[in-house]
Amino acid sequence: MRLPLLSVTPRIAKYEDSLVARTSLLGLLLTLTFLHRTVIVDPQKKSVVIRHRLFWCLASERRIPFKRVESLSYDYEDWNPSTGMGFTGDTTDCFTVKLNLTDGKQVHLFHFVGEGTFINNSALPDWMYWSDFAFDAAGDQADKSRAYVTVLQQLLKVPLR
């Protein structure tokens, strides 16, 4: 079962011809509004604009032309330490989207974080955890991050790495 309330993902929308992703309301609340990021992909101007605000007053803007973007990075990490150490439990999924530039640098766009699915890393068989598998709920971070990367690939016309 997928529940949007179990994930912290950016709000993604189309405004005019641009793809705009912003820090979500839940993300703002979790950071006490200290961090805010907006990424605008404008196919008309062929540029990616990244606006970042830190501590309500320190703002920056970076403009990256499409021709400087070589590829996209789409990475996954499990942030739950117990599942990584051979125990059972729900993963804490973190999908990261970055731009790989032609000069070898990476530019972070967004993290998509949320409750993952139950996994059994123990020596015990899966059937011993049937209730955990049967009644498992997860966030929609995987679906939203995949959709965002797919649209970015189409707009930027670059491969995924």
SS (H, E, C) the chain: CECHHHEECCEEEEECCEEEEECCHHHHHHCCCCEEEEEEEECCCCEEEEEEEECCCEEEEEEEEHHHEEEEEEEEEECCHHHHCCCEEEEEEEEEEEEEECCCCEEEEEEEEEEEEEEECCCCCHHHHHHHHHCCCECCHHHHHHHHHHHHHHHHCCCEC
In the block, residue with structure tokens 């970076």: 62
Q: CB-side exposure of 134: number of CA atoms within 13 Å?
A: 5
Distance CA 66, CA 50 (A): 13
Q: What is the pLDDT along the chain (161 residues), one digit of tens a residue?
A: 777 778 899 999 999 999 999 999 988 888 888 899 999 999 999 999 999 999 888 999 999 999 999 999 999 999 988 887 778 888 899 999 999 999 999 999 999 999 998 888 888 888 888 888 788 888 999 999 999 999 999 999 999 98
pLDDT at 68: 98
Distances (CA, A) of 72 to 30, 137, 148: 27, 29, 11
Residue 23 one-letter amino acid: T
d(CA 68, CA 156): 10
pLDDT value, residue 106:
97
Sheet holding 106-120, edge to edge: 7-8, 106-120, 88-101, 69-78
Are 71 and 100 in contact by the 8 Å Cβ rule? The answer is yes
- pLDDT reported for residue 161: 86
pTM for this model (two decimals)? 0.88
